[in-house]
Amino acid sequence: MSKLSHIDSANRPTMVDVSEKSATLRLAHARACVELPDAVLAEVSGDEIATRKGPVFSTAIIAGVMAAKRTHELIPFCHPLGLTSCKIAIEVQDNLAVVDCRCKVEHKTGVEMEALTGASVAALTIYDMLKAVSHDIVIRDTRLIAKSGGKEDFSRDA
């Protein structure tokens, strides 16, 4: 079993020292799926859901980008990153709102956590804005789809 990167030689939690690494272009793509019950699906018009709180998917995109930019404030030991790009797309596929978050940075450490945080908070925002319609909404399958630019690239079938 490999040593955990956030544990020092005395088994104390620690931030990874990236000072010796080279900055490279880092990309990450994460996805979260929001299962929408029929009552919510009936509210979908085109590629948006309008509520008294505002446009659901547009608001979720804004919330997801804001969260991705603040990941280091939410997840212990994440390095603060000045993202050069964070794009969130939401598409309704059957009974799912599929949230894709793609982040980019030129840095010494990756952006997987930023992409995962962006997708997660966008999904939570969808839930929050639609819970008045139904509490049967389910957030599921939040996962990393791909990353590149670091020590090891990763990609899974979306």
| pTM score of the predicted model | 0.91
Residues 136-153: pLDDT tens digits?
Answer: 999 999 999 999 998 889
Q: What is the mean pLDDT of residues 119-131?
A: 98
Say how far apart CA 153 and CA 158 lie, in whole Å.
15
Residues 27-78: pLDDT tens digits?
Answer: 999 999 999 999 999 999 989 999 988 999 999 999 999 999 999 999 999 9
Q: Which two three-digit tokens encode residue 58?
A: 């547009």
Say how far apart CA 11 and CA 18 lie, in whole Å.
19
Per-residue pLDDT at 1 exceeds 50: no
Active site residue 141: no
Q: What is the DSSP letter of 112?
A: H
Catalytic hit among 38, 47, 100, 128: 128
Element (H, E) at 96: strand 96-107
